[in-house]
């Protein structure tokens, strides 16, 4: 199945990342290329094969002496060894200078080793040892007369390549955030991507600030619909990326099924570090177990459409209104948190009461959105919701739900829930929750039409929670949005038909809490800006270092 590639600002940065095949496959490719080199070059293939084999030996010793290295996996060692072999053979063909070709292959080892394990002076010795040793051995075996002169040239070349890499490190290091150099931040990210290490959180934590969060929970029987007031990022196992899963685990122990909502806000609303998850979960535990719950009654629901493709679906209760924001056809991404703050205050002043705005994240962004058009629609939504609340008495909430496990690319842990909310003489609303990071374009509309046909509901909406626990863990793709699959459609429609035969749960309750916790805040913007500012420069410098510099050094011999 071909996966949809999200058109995001960070997507292009992930496109350069790749995963290696199993070491056995790499070993077979190595043997084939080595055999081809021996057949075509004969004894002249010796330095290239020695270099690659010594890379394996040195890195094996290195991982024993430095267990923290990312090269504890054999396939990574084999991958780097194979790369140096191919590189040296190609450059020998181009430069017609095997000493320079082998020495130049150290640029690959230097860049990879220092980039993945961190820049240290002694790693230059580790990275250049294979090339130096293979050149020395090859000269001793095949050309002892020129040993001293050529070996001296090789040592100078290796020192030059080491110095050039360190100069690049210093040049890129002028880009900093609060003392943290850009190359070091890149290393920490790659270590998380490869090893799921959380060292990068130390940087996030030091740059972050304490902010107030205001979680709300709506209880529909044993279903807990949780508005966390946080964003579930930034990636993998860092920050609050794993909060939805941890919440589900906590609430299941308390007898509840959890649905986590994604409010307005982006990475500025991430927890500064995953170590604050425990603190946050304790607050939620208290909210569930000890906080006073208020009875929630239902006034009705309304859908409005505005300019730029924006839509809102609002469920109006007596003590709370929940506004689902979508943008079908054009797509949606993180909406600024200050919009939530502003219109929450506006709603309270006008008498509507507490309001939470949900970024439905149900259509991958196709076009940049106009925030002014959304602001106008939200203003209208608040006014219309207030009119509805004043014109209708509240009634008892009637609800039913069915949560299932199914399968589709991008659907995290297979989690999905169909929820119906209504009241006597009030609009019936069907909500489909899919746990994931946004949806492929068009899927939302197809599911809405299918669910409307089965249920006959007045309003239907589909939403995801924009969870980033599977963001930044793949090669080439930043994340996989929820895709359509035969299993997904079949299981959801079957579950919905089954739900329509179930009795309603009577009554709903509402609970909330407020507390301070450390979130990324402006740090997220600083990191994104740093990435944009350095990506092109780093690419140009590394390409020049590994591929152009050796050509320039070999040019004099080629000319003569």
What digits encode the pLDDT tens for the residues 415-466? 999 999 999 999 999 999 999 999 999 999 999 999 999 999 999 999 999 9
Q: Cis peptide leading into 402, omega within 30 of 0?
A: no
Q: How far apart are CA 6 and CA 364, in angstroms?
A: 7
Q: Is the pLDDT of residue 559 over 80?
A: no
pLDDT bucket at 10, cuts 50 / 70 / 90? low
Counting every residue, how long is the chain? 560
C-alpha 67: how far from chain center: 27
Q: Is the pLDDT of residue 144 over 90?
A: no
pLDDT bucket at 310, cuts 50 / 70 / 90? very high
pLDDT, tens only, 196-205:
899 999 999 9
Of the candidate ranges 286-290, 302-306, 343-347, 369-373, the one whose mean pLDDT is the lowest: 286-290
Q: How far apart are CA 160 and CA 156, in angstroms?
A: 6
| Domains of the chain by residue range | 9-191+528-557, 209-520
Rounded mean pLDDT, 491-518: 97
Q: How far apart are CA 297 and CA 282, in angstroms?
A: 28
Q: How far apart are CA 100 and CA 92, in angstroms?
A: 8
pLDDT score, position 16? 64
pLDDT score, position 96? 92
Could you tell me where the DSSP H helices lie in 323-419? 337-350, 371-391
pLDDT, tens only, 217-269:
999 999 999 999 999 999 889 999 999 999 999 999 999 999 999 999 999 99
- Residue 507: which region, alpha, beta or left (left: phi > 0; alpha: psi -120 to 50)? left
Instruction: Give exposure, 62-90, as e/b (b: 16+ Cβ within 10 Å).
Output: bbeeeeebbbeebbbbbbbbbbbbbbbbe
Q: How far apart are the two ends of the chain, measured CA to CA in Å? A: 54
Rounded mean pLDDT, 514-537: 89
Q: Is the pLDDT of residue 477 over 70?
A: yes
Q: How far apart are CA 409 and CA 144, in angstroms?
A: 60
Q: Is the pLDDT of residue 15 over 80?
A: no
- Residue 196: which region, alpha, beta or left (left: phi > 0; alpha: psi -120 to 50)? left
pLDDT score, position 235? 87
pLDDT score, position 13? 57
Rounded mean pLDDT, 513-541: 90
On whether the CB atoms of residues 371 and 309 are closer than 8 A, the answer is: no
Of the candidate ranges 167-176, 357-366, 525-534, the one whose mean pLDDT is the lowest: 525-534
Rounded mean pLDDT, 53-65: 97
Percentage of the chain modeled with pLDDT above 70 = 97
Q: Is the pLDDT of residue 475 over 70?
A: no
Q: How far apart are CA 387 and CA 246, in angstroms?
A: 39
For residue 201, how many other CB atoms are within 10 A of its CB?
22
Of the candidate ranges 57-66, 179-188, 491-500, the one whose mean pLDDT is the lowest: 179-188
Q: Helices 98-117 & 147-172, crossing angle to 10 degrees?
A: 30
Q: Which of 147-151, 164-168, 286-290, 553-557 has the highest mean pLDDT?
A: 164-168
Average pLDDT, the chain: 93
Percentage of the chain modeled with pLDDT above 90 = 84
Rg (CA), the chain: 29
Of the candidate ranges 89-98, 145-154, 292-301, 369-378, the one whose mean pLDDT is the lowest: 145-154
pLDDT score, position 267? 92
pLDDT bucket at 385, cuts 50 / 70 / 90? very high
Longest dimension (CA), the chain: 101
Rounded mean pLDDT, 327-352: 95
pLDDT score, position 164? 97
């Amino acid at each position: 199945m071909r996966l949809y590639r999200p058109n995001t600002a960070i997507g292009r940065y992930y496109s350069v990342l790749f995963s290696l095949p199993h070491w056995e496959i790499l070993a077979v490719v190595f043997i084939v290329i080595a055999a081809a080199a021996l057949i075509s070059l004969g004894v002249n293939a010796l330095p290239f094969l020695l270099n690659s084999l010594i890379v394996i030996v040195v890195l094996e010793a290195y991982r024993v002496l430095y267990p923290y290295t990312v090269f504890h996996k054999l396939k990574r060692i084999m991958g780097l060894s194979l790369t140096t072999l191919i590189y040296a053979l190609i450059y020998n063909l181009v430069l017609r200078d095997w000493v320079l070709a082998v020495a130049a292959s150290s640029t690959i080892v230097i860049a990879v080793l220092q980039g993945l394990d961190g820049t240290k002076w002694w790693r230059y010795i580790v990275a250049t040892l294979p090339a130096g040793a293979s050149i020395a051995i090859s000269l001793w075996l095949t050309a002892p007369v020129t040993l001293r002169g050529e070996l001296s040239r090789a040592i100078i070349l290796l020192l030059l390549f080491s110095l050039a890499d360190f100069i690049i490190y210093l040049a890129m290091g002028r880009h900093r955030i609060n003392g943290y150099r850009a190359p070091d931040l890149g290393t920490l990210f790659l270590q998380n991507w490869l090893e799921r290490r959380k060292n990068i959180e130390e940087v996030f934590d030091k740059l972050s600030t304490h902010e107030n969060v205001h979680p709300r929970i709506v209880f529909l029987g044993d279903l807990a619909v949780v508005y966390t007031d946080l964003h579930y990022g930034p990636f993998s196992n860092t920050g609050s990326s794993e909060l939805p899963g941890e919440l589900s685990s906590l609430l299941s122990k308390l007898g509840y099924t959890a649905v986590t909502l994604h409010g307005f806000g982006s990475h500025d609303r991430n927890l500064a570090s995953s170590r604050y998850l425990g603190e946050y979960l304790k607050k939620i535990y208290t909210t569930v177990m000890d906080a006073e719950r208020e009875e929630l009654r239902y006034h009705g629901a309304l859908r409005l459409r505005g300019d730029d493709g924006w839509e809102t679906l609002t469920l109006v209760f007596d003590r709370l209104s929940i506004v689902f924001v979508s943008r079908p056809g054009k797509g949606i991404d993180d909406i600024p948190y200050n919009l939530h703050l502003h219109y929450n205050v506006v709603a309270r002043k006008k008498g509507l009461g507490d309001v939470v705005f949900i970024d439905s994240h149900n259509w991958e962004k196709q076009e940049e959105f106009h925030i002014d058009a959304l602001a106008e629609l939200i203003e209208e939504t608040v006014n219309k919701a207030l009119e509805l609340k004043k014109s209708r008495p509240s009634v008892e909430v009637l609800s039913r739900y069915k949560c299932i496990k199914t399968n589709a690319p991008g659907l995290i842990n297979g989690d999905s829930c169909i929820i119906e909310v209504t009241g006597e003489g009030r609009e019936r609303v069907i909500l489909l929750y899919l746990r994931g990071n946004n949806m492929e374009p068009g899927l939302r509309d197809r599911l809405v039409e299918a669910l409307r046909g089965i249920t006959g509901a007045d309003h239907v909406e589909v939403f995801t929670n924009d969870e980033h626990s599977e963001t930044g863990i793949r090669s080439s793709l930043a994340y996989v949005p929820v895709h359509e699959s035969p299993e997904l459609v079949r299981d959801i429609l079957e579950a919905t038909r089954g739900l329509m035969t179930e009795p309603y749960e009577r009554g709903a309750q509402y609970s909330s809490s407020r507390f301070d916790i450390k979130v990324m805040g402006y740090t997220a913007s600083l990191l994104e800006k740093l990435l944009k500012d350095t990506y092109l420069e780093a690419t140009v410098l590394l390409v020049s270092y590994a591929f152009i510099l050796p050509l320039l050094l070999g040019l004099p011999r080629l000319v003569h």
